[in-house]
Structure formats: structure tokens, C-alpha cells
Amino acid sequence: MNLYQIKIKYPKEEAAENNKQTERTLSEFIDEVEYEDVLVQYDRLLARGYSINVSFQPPELDNDGSELNPFEIAEKFDLAGITYKATLKLKALGDYENMVKIAKMIEGQGFDYDVSVKLKVNENSPVDFEKESSWFDAEFTKYTILPKASSHDINDLKSLYDLLSEDNQKVTIALRAKVQKDDDDSFANQLEAYPSETLVVFKLSDADVYGEE
């Protein structure tokens, strides 16, 4: 039996304190909620007139202690007829040589990437900002690489994901379902794809009762 966590973020409320207008944000957290009860909570919020933006934050590890497999979640999306966008996320910080190695992996799979550099310039540093040739010192220069890797089919990312994982890089794949908003059937189908201990975040706003003009 899957048990979920729920976080509800209510709309900001204005309040007067010491003759000043302030905004307060109220959040509510509910732990160990069964699948059916999550659906009940969702329906109750809709019935109260809220519009709900939903996000899912699955645990890093599954019940067996293994890293969560995003491909299994995507497969459940496919079976439920849910379209989605998969985006590869990489936390890679290191020296020039290590980042070049990762860059070649990304290029080899046909994806673009951004690189940023952090230079430590002080009296003990050999780095001179005006001399580009000094920007490669492993101790005083760190590079960050950001892949531009996303697809509507998670399998397009699998080869790069496997390469980075085998290289012991901190790589994940984020999934964003494209479903009808404020629809209980769509929400139920999404929730069913996620494992136990997933954090379900409800960000509430006042529903647009009259529609757009």
C-alpha cells in the first residue's frame, strides 16, 4: 500500500499589523496519506473553490533502498496515456579536465549544454582574470556544466543518463506531466504512477470563476 505526503500551500493573505499591510503565507503538511485519501483531499480543495497547481517530488530511494527509476514512472505515464516532458538534471562541479570529459559525453548524445566558470582571484591565487590561460588551475577554478537535454520520450535521454550514472555523476530526470488542470481523473492517473513516500504539493490559488475576458 502506497503512503504519500501532502503539502498544501494556501494563497497569500493580507493582514494589517502595526498600521502596515503585510502578506502571510500558510502551509499545511500531512504525512502517511493513503492513495484514496489524497484524492479526497484534492476534491475537497476543488470544492472549496481553489484552483490547484500540483507537483510531485518522489523520494530519492525506493522501498528496497535502490535509487528511484524515473523510467518506471514514465512507463506508467505511457500506459495511462499521459503526455509528459522529461528533463535531465545534472549536478556537476569540477575542474576543467573533468568537465571536458562530461561535455564530450553530452555532445556524443547530440545535446547542447551551458558551461559556467567560478574563478577565485586573491593574493594566493595564480588566476589572473585578464589572462585566460590562467583560468585552468584545478584548485582555484571550478566549472559547472548544464545539459540542455529534454524530450517528450524519456528513452531519448537514456543513453546519456546511463553514461553519466556509470561515471558516478549526480544525475536525475525530472518528469512534468501535461494534463488538464483541476481535473480529478487526470490527477488520479498521475498520482498512481508515483511510488510510496512521494511528496504531493498542492499550490492553491483562487479559481477564475468568470473565466478570461
Same domain, yes or no: 173 and 152: yes
pLDDT, tens only, 42-52: 999 999 999 99
Domain with 116, as residue range(s), is: 83-178
Count: domains in the chain: 2
Three-state DSSP class for 145? strand
Residue 113 in contact with residue 145, Cβ under 8 Å? yes
pLDDT, tens only, 180-205: 888 889 999 999 999 999 999 999 99
Percentage of the chain lying above the pLDDT 90 cut: 60
- Residue 75 falls within a domain, yes or no? no
- Residue 74 falls within a domain, yes or no? no
- Residue 131 falls within a domain, yes or no? yes
Distance of alpha carbon 53 from alpha carbon 176, whole angstroms: 12
Residue type, 121: V
- Residue 71 falls within a domain, yes or no? no
Q: What is the pTM of this model?
A: 0.76
Residue 54 in contact with residue 176, Cβ under 8 Å? no
Residue 45 is predicted with a pLDDT of 95
